Chain A
Amino acid sequence: MAKSKPRVKVPKKAEAGEIITIKTLISHKMESGQRKNKKTGELIPRKIINHFRAEFNGKLVFETAIEPAVSSNPYISFKMKVPESGEVVFTWTDDDGSKYTTKKKIKVG
């Protein structure tokens, strides 16, 4: 499987107190665990991104538990109120325990 590559879209600059939209996408097959192998009839084991989390300067902004019903290459967008300059850290957690992270800086003023 191709390596999971996270992509995020965050404005570089914001006013203090401004509410921004953050868009995220990670390449991942999101094997639901419901599909069957056509030849053997066996269920293909589930392997999905089961959790996503965004923190700003160490404080939680948004997180979500993800079930197999979320599409492959999961896309998530959400809002954030920017209090000051800082860095947003995004973390995706895979069923196998791997974590994928990426970071983006936001400058206020």
Chain B
Amino acid sequence: MKLDRREFMVWGVGAAAVAVAGLPTIAMAAGDPTAEDAIKEFTGGAEVKSGRVELDTPEIAENGNTVPVSVSVDSPMTADDHVTDVLILADGNPRPGVATFRFTELSGEAEASTRIRLAKTQNVIAVAKMSDGTFFMDKQPVKVTIGGCGG
């Protein structure tokens, strides 16, 4: 059972990688937002500083279908000073959006992890929105050996 599934996965991934290679230009022509657009929309054009946000990604991801990503933001998480949202983007995917985490006072610490799909080698970006309206960003390059299924 297990072997069958693995074989199936390998075939699926290979086919997807071929399919993806031709996609980004088509996606752009269709007017899909870029990572820059997504950041602008999230920040409303405000300045984005570096620091405070730490993005933890593997340097090399053998399988782009499931790449572990962790983000943590240096914040006391009190009522006056906390992180409200963190936007995660992948700038080389057909669509850059990955997820938006919302934290609350009950979070205690602004830290979350998930697993994402990366179509090819690219940057993963995290932008954090603070309760005082400032924004912080971190960017990590991830080398992808086998691209994830179509984004």
- Pick from B66, B99, B118, B151: contact of A34, CB under 8 Å: B151
B residues 43-83 near A (Cβ < 8 Å) are: 65-67, 77
Interface: A81 (CB within 8 A) = yes
Q: Give complex CA distance A1, B2 in Å.
A: 18
- With contacts A64-B101, A69-B93, A75-B115 known, is A81 near B108, CB below 8 A? yes
CB-based nearest B residue for A59: B106
Interface membership of A104, Cβ < 8 A = no
Residues of A within 8 A of B95 (CB): 34, 67-69
Once the chains bind, are B99 and A64 in contact (CB under 8 Å)?
A: yes
Q: Does B134 contact A (CB under 8 A)?
A: no
Q: What residues on A are CB-neighbors of B108 within 8 Å? A: 19, 79-81
Interface size of B by CB at 8 A reads 39
Determine if A34 and B107 form an interchain contact, defined as CB atoms under 8 angstroms apart. Answer: no
Point out residues on B near A: beta carbons under 8 Å. Answer: 15-16, 19-20, 23, 65-67, 77, 90, 93-95, 97-118, 148-151
Given contacts A69-B90, A69-B97, A79-B107, contact A62 B116 (CB under 8 A): no
B113 and A76 contacting across the interface, CB-CB below 8 Å:
yes
Query: Does residue A56 face the partner (Cβ distance < 8 Å to B)?
Result: yes
Ranked nearest first, the 7 interchain pairs of A and B with the lowest CB-CB distance are A81-B108, A34-B150, A19-B108, A67-B97, A71-B66, A71-B115, A69-B98
Smallest beta-carbon distance A86→chain B, Å? 10
Report 7 cross-chain contacts, Cβ distance below 8 Å, ordered by A residue: A19-B109, A32-B149, A34-B151, A35-B149, A64-B99, A64-B114, A79-B111
Docked-complex contact B94 and A34, CB < 8 angstroms: yes
Q: Which of B20, B23, B111, B115 makes the CB contact (< 8 A) with A70? A: B115
Chain A contributes a number of interface residues (CB within 8 A of B) equal to 30
Q: Of the candidates A35, A64, A69, which one forms a contact with B19 in the assembled complex, judged by CB atoms under 8 Å apart?
A: A35
Chain B residues with CB under 8 Å of A78's CB are 101, 103, 107, 111-113
